[in-house]
Amino acid sequence: MEVQVTVDAKEVVEEMFWLAWNACGGTQGYGFLQDKPEASREEVLVNVGCSGDYDMHISTHSGQLYGDYVFGRMMKLGLNYEKGIVIFRDTPPRADYQSWCVKYPSYIDLLNAALASLKEK
């Protein structure tokens, strides 16, 4: 699904990822070994980058962000962006697979929360 946004799409995608990471609420299984509950937004994004899941260098106007387990939290979240567009799956997230969806039941809910959060900043 593609959704047009009137703010920087890269910033929206990063905020969606940050909110989702916080919504996970904890680690799964051996994830406790990588747990870092005090991680900052930047640390979370760097963690994804270090694991090879973070590619915002495709161009200045497009990129993707994917996190499987980030600091031990089950994300399984993939988001893309192009200039003015945020792109995500059409299928609904699953709580047993994407623990962030307990708080944000759909990608649209997560997108709206990110837009509201950015508006507050």
pTM comes to 0.87
- From 118, 99, 121, select the one nearest 7 (Cα to Cα): 118
CB 47 within 8 A of CB 39: yes
Nearest in space to 14 (alpha carbons), one of 73, 80, 60: 80
Mean per-residue pLDDT for 72-100? 92
Token output for 104: 């944000």
CB 1 within 8 A of CB 78: no
DSSP for residue 38: T
What's the pLDDT tens digit per position in 89-112? Answer: 999 999 988 999 999 999 999 999
Task: Report the C-alpha gap between 11 and 32 in whole angstroms.
Answer: 29
